[in-house]
Amino acid sequence: MKKLVLVLSLAILSISCKSQSETATFVNKPSNLHDQPKLVVGIVVDQMRYDYLTRFYNKYSEGGFKLLMNEGFNCKNNHYNYTPTYTGPGHASIYTGTTPKYHGIIANYWYDKEIKKTVYCAGDDTVSSVGTDEDSGKMSPHRMQTTSFADENRLFTQMRGKTIGISMKDRGAILPAGHTANAAYWFQGEDEGNWITSSFYRDDLPSWVTSFNASDASESYLKTWNTLYDITTYTESGPDLNTFEGGFKGKETATFPYDLKALSKANKGFDILKATAYGNDLTTDFAIAAIDGEQLGQDEFTDVLALSYSSTDYVGHNFGVNSKEVEDTYIRLDKDIERLIQALDAKVGKGKYTLFLTSDHGAVEVPAYLQSVNIPAGLVDNKARKESLNAFMTKTFGASDLIESMSNNQIFLNREKIALLNLDLEAVQKRIVNEVITYPNIDKAYTATAMGSTSFSRGIEELVQNGFSQKRSGDVLIVDGPGYLSYGKTGSSHGSGLNYDTHVPLLFYGKGIAKGSTLQKTRIVDIAPTISALLGISFPSGAIGIPLEIVLSE
């Protein structure tokens, strides 16, 4: 009987193929017939050093980081292949599979040579805020020059596969979600405590976002922040009371517990949540609401959820790599990851989605702490550098206004003025390199001309070149000495091409992913091509990475 039905249906199929256009048979079916994950979840943990996986390993539960490490694929030697290692460029590179050289996000803020003003990587004055009256919604990915894998998935599925971006930081949601996202949502703190978006995506908030905002989710986290476990068991970090931490306004010491409700008044209201472990809890609540609200992973077209946890970065900046606050934030984030995976298993189905977890950069230990244990480190004095350089320019070229901007370790020259004075641009760049290399804690310096005319294939030169956009970057590029950076006296920061900033986790888990680990070097730009290969879709337009075959199961 079964055979007869099959023969009959084949006969009908062949007749219908002849009588109708061939494509009609496949309407509403994805054109790739192999078995796709229903959902790709990308998780970026902002400012996560690789060693946070290993340092806090014994404190993690079985269902969070450990599950990804032990049941998924762990790329243990994964690095950024460019500088500067900042949030905007990091998020863009993870999803586009390329570096600032091609995607154009050269920093969070940079001096725009054309309009001669500082611009923000996700800022867009042509769109308006949705969900707030503040300007914090005037954002879009328009400065990112290439596509993300989420964009390619949208094109491939004829816009049937959805993309949603979520992060407390606008740039953490917007750049990964790409140009064609259905929406990206970020957090408006102050006295609002709401998730917002921009008219770039939609004209109003969907009802699931409105009801999430109307719930008391944000308020519920304005409570006391204490360590999850007894603080005396936190043996993987330094003493809670020390001189290397910032802390909150209105509290004398940077020590647990923190009464966030009371402290919120002096610390920009709901914005205080960003710099606590609870910001990640709130982000997880919202992400799970998005899976329901957007019905992610419910049909045959692959959806993309681009999720970025920002609080780890704020806590790191405030308290530093070695703090109890960072340790507690990771112990609690581990619980969030576990909760998210459980929600995905329940709502999308175990084995039906693919997840990866990485970071947008690492972080250096607080320089003052490194100094206290005799490791070379310190703060650079940008003001002094600027003054010395201006004096040099006046003395050498007879003009004090040849430097337009000194930002992100780049020197932007006034090219009109240089032409007017009949100076040779490259010669001026070279003179500056020879001058600034004598300044304290400037380890290396390069001219833009060298970056644009030589191809570097290794070392810091390659990293600088990969971060260099001929169109957008400055005339002279500076590299600070190891352990040196421009930052406040307390807390950690990032931006260099050294291992503490470039070495970040890369974990894959779920559908199509092999179980295992590697110490072979992988690069952040390999992530997007790997996901593209898994989905069988085009690589993002500027992708330079290669698919990590070892990660993919057959």
Annotated catalytic residues are: 87
> For the CA atoms of the chain, what is the radius of gyration?
25
- What does the alpha-carbon distance between residue 278 and residue 272 come to, in Å, rounded to a whole number? 10
- CB 233 to Zn ion: min, Å: 16
- What does the alpha-carbon distance between residue 142 and residue 123 come to, in Å, rounded to a whole number? 8
Helices (H), 243-378: 260-264, 278-293, 311-319, 324-344, 367-372
Give the HSE-up count for residue 442: Cα atoms under 13 Å, Cβ half-sphere. 22
Is 376 in a helix, a strand, or coil? coil
Residues 540 and 146: beta-carbon distance below 8 Å: yes
Binding to Zn ion (CB under 5 A): which residues in 359-388?
A: 360
Binding to Zn ion (CB under 5 A): which residues in 241-260?
A: 245, 254
Q: Please state at what angle helix 87-96 crosses helix 527-535, rounded to 10 degrees.
A: 30
Bridge pairing between strands 516-518 and 73-75:
parallel
- CB 487 to Zn ion: min, Å: 10
List phi, psi (to 5°) of 35.
Answer: -80, 110
Residues 196 and 137: beta-carbon distance below 8 Å: yes
- CB 411 to Zn ion: min, Å: 23
Residues 136 and 124: beta-carbon distance below 8 Å: no
Q: Encoding tokens for residue 281?
A: 């809890």
User: Measuring CA to CA, which residue among 289, 150, 277 is closest to residue 214?
Assistant: 289
Residue nearest to Zn ion (CB): 87
Residues 508 and 551: beta-carbon distance below 8 Å: yes
Q: Encoding tokens for residue 74?
A: 């762990």
Q: Encoding tokens for residue 166?
A: 């979520």
CB-nearer residue toward Zn ion: 527 or 551: 527
- CB 428 to Zn ion: min, Å: 33
- What does the alpha-carbon distance between residue 362 and residue 439 come to, in Å, rounded to a whole number? 26
CB atoms inside a 10 Å sphere around CB 39: 25
CB-nearer residue toward Zn ion: 257 or 376: 257
CB-nearer residue toward Zn ion: 193 or 491: 491
Among the candidate windows 18-26, 266-274, 355-363, 546-554, which touches Zn ion by CB under 5 A? 355-363
- Per-residue binding string, Zn ion, 54-93, x by CB under 5 A, is ---------------------------------x------
- CB 313 to Zn ion: min, Å: 4
How many residues bind to Zn ion according to rule CB under 5 A? Answer: 7
- CB 474 to Zn ion: min, Å: 21
Among the candidate windows 32-40, 184-192, 238-246, 465-473, which touches Zn ion by CB under 5 A? 238-246
Among the candidate windows 39-47, 385-393, 432-440, 454-462, which touches Zn ion by CB under 5 A? 39-47
CB-nearer residue toward Zn ion: 342 or 407: 407
CB-nearer residue toward Zn ion: 130 or 357: 357
Q: Encoding tokens for residue 147?
A: 């596509």
List phi, psi (to 5°) of 92.
Answer: -65, -45
CB-nearer residue toward Zn ion: 226 or 454: 226
Interacting residue with Zn ion among 30, 38, 40, 46 (CB under 5 A): 46
Interacting residue with Zn ion among 124, 240, 303, 404 (CB under 5 A): 240
Among the candidate windows 38-46, 58-66, 219-227, 231-239, which touches Zn ion by CB under 5 A? 38-46
- CB 550 to Zn ion: min, Å: 27
Applying CB under 5 A, does 327 fall inside the site for Zn ion? no
- CB 327 to Zn ion: min, Å: 10
Binding to Zn ion (CB under 5 A): which residues in 289-318?
A: 313
CB-nearer residue toward Zn ion: 254 or 445: 254
For tokens 């709901």, the residue is: 270
CB-nearer residue toward Zn ion: 198 or 308: 308
Long-range contacts of 443-449 (CB under 8 A, 24+ apart): 443/479, 443/480, 443/481, 443/482, 443/484, 444/478, 444/479, 445/476, 445/477, 445/478, 445/479, 446/476, 446/477, 446/479, 447/475, 447/476, 447/477, 448/473, 448/474, 448/475, 448/476, 448/477, 449/425
CB-nearer residue toward Zn ion: 275 or 442: 275
- CB 495 to Zn ion: min, Å: 9
Binding to Zn ion (CB under 5 A): which residues in 178-237?
A: none
Using CB under 5 A as the criterion, which residues of the chain lie in contact with Zn ion when the complex forms?
46, 87, 240, 245, 254, 313, 360
